[in-house]
Chain A
Amino acid sequence: MIRQDGPGNRLDVDAMVEAAISAGEAAIEIQSVDDVVALPPRSPFRIGIRRFMKHRLALISLIYLALLGLMAVFAPIVAPANPNAVDLTSLRSAPTSDHLLGTDSAGRDVLSRIIFGARVSLTVGTAAAVSAAGLGTLLGLIAGFTRGWVDTIIMRLVDIFLSFPSLIVILLLVAILGPSVTTIVIVIAFFEWPTACRIVRQMTLALREHDFVLAARASGSSNFRIMRRHILSGVVSPLTVVTTLLSAQAILLEAALSFLGLGVRPPQASWGGMLNEAQSITVLERFPWLWLPPGIAIASTVLAINFIGDGLRDAFDPRQTR
């Protein structure tokens, strides 16, 4: 079993929780001590943004992702060719001026497929992470706030889900339910929510003991109101960090699924799917344009997201020595 006060799963949950709690608490402290100590009034959000700006890698990554997003949205305009257009005359041909990244085993233009592939990755990444974060936040808030047996049940669920080898079960579920982007998003979200839930619960537990919550309670605010106004605002910063990291995970998962042939199916372009071709030694050796571009695409996107997550974490935690 996973200890309740221990870290979550493969993400830096523990470090994040620590940072999150101190960030949340520090942010709140700044708010309340603000009047006493004559600091120029700066909302913790603004302080966060300033610090983020100082993190060069995070900034570059943000720009990169923004460009990637634009490229994905305007893919039909940006791509030089139809990604599904089969050209039987040039199968696996090397890069030329016509096909800047060459063609694949079915004669399709690699560059266009890379551009369209961004759609799949970014959609899955965002949708899965946001859904997981949403579900996780809801359950985490409830668990942390109501405590008692509701809390125990939710946490046991979290433990169970985290014990399962998610990759295998995801593979299984996608195999059963069919490999559409929607299914993939749902299934991935299904396994990512426990992480978000854990963090939100930790934050809620810490925050609910704070004086301003007790004060709100004493003045008769309903639980729901308290949850919404006070605790939710404290939870937002660590939640942003978690969501970023969850989306990185989601993209990697989708890529793995497609690579194994069990995710997004051709002819739909997906970076992982393009790497599927690289399983033969021949391809590896003689046709590097088939597998290097998609791999680099995935790696750079996930790296960018991780840098942003790192930047966010630094931005929201004033206490970390960096």
Chain B
Amino acid sequence: MLAYLVRRIIIAFPVLLGILALTFILVQMLPGDPATVLLTPEEMMGDPGLIERRRAELGLDRPLPVQYVAWLGELAKGNLGTSFHRNVPVTEMLAPRVMPTLILSGTGMVIALLIGVPVGVAAALRQNTKFDYASGVGSMVAVSVPTFFQGLIAIYVFSIWLGWLPSGGMRTLGIPASGIDLLKHLILPASVLSAVLMGPYVRYTRQSLLDVLRLDHVTTAKAKGVPRWGVVVKHALRNSLIPLTTVLAVQIPALLAGTVIIEYVFTWPGMGRLVIEGINSRDYPVILAVVMITAVLVLFFNFIADVTAAILDPRIRL
């Protein structure tokens, strides 16, 4: 088991380096000379050597590979750069946004799982019935209607028309923070977010279970006299959930993309919203920090998925 984990980490390494390298290349592609960015026009005109010195200060005159290594070094120290827009360390800007994003995306995923997997199981067990057909079409619709449109409709129905839920933000200003308040604000965005994930979850669970039910060992269990529910739960379900862990991990990029959009539509104060603001204000350090963090997170979650799969499936541990 340990050997397996070590092997997975070793494979992950080049991908991590690749992510970092690509991010660095993106940095280089950005228009604008970092040296001039925080200088005022007067400063620039008054002192012709200033730009050169700033460049030297920022280490921009060194060859690219050296810059890359230096950049990596800064990363390792936790220095994610300084925001162009607000001139504060990026880490400071990111910190308060992390939790809200995690709450939103985490809840979204949990809702999608809690609804998606049982529906997928039911659809597989009732194959080719109206329920199966309806759930299939439903998943298709959930995935086809753009997330932001779903968000707008949700706001219209629940916030404007019915008036049950707030239309955005994470807290109601003026009243003390409470769980209920958070919940009221969380429910709509998390539900819309879960819709995008639910489609694939239902599909995959259904397909996986159907595939497993066709396998020989299920017939053997039946031949032994195991009752139907026993066959499904003990012999089919667990086997079919194993590939699902990979699906979960692989859906993370979609989850993150959805989170960005949802945070925007619902003015949720998370990292997604920060990125959009950053893009609009051309605040490259912020954008890049978020890009990199999400890529690393994806890598991390894939690793977790591999570990979980290895725990569930003894064959993988070889």
Contacts and interface: CB of A to CB of B under 8 A. Distances in A.
Direct chain A–B contact by Cβ atoms under 8 Å: yes
A281 B148 contact: no
Nearest to A278: B152
Contacts of A159: 15, 18
Interface stretch (B45-53, B69-77, B173-181, B290-298): B290-298
Contact of A12 (B153, B156, B203): B203
B127 A321 contact: yes
Contacts of A157: 18
Given A12-B200, A159-B15, A176 B29 contact: yes
A278 B29 CA distance: 33
B14 A156 contact: yes
Contacts of A167: 256-257, 260-261
Interface string A282-305: 001100000100010011001101
A278 B146 CA distance: 14
Interface string B18-42: 1100100010011100000000000
Contact of B141 (A3, A285, A303): A303
B264 A260 contact: yes
Interface residues of B, number: 65
Nearest to A177: B29
Q: Which of A165, A279, A285 has the most CB of B within 10 A?
A: A165
Given A163-B253, A256-B261, A303 B144 contact: yes
A134 to B, nearest CB: 22
A172 interface: yes
B188 interface: no
A149 interface: no
Contacts of B15: 1, 156, 159-160, 163
Interface in A153-189: 156-157, 159-160, 162-169, 171-172, 175-176
Contacts of B260: 165, 167-168
Contact of B147 (A2, A9, A256, A291): A256
A312 interface: no
A80 interface: no
A315 B167 CA distance: 44
Contacts of A29: none
A172 B127 contact: no
Contacts of A239: none
Nearest to B265: A279
Interface in A62-99: none
A257 B123 CA distance: 35
B8 interface: yes
Contact of B160 (A9, A166, A252, A284): A284
B143 A163 contact: no
B275 A168 contact: yes
Contact of B22 (A164, A252, A255, A281): A164
B12 A1 contact: yes
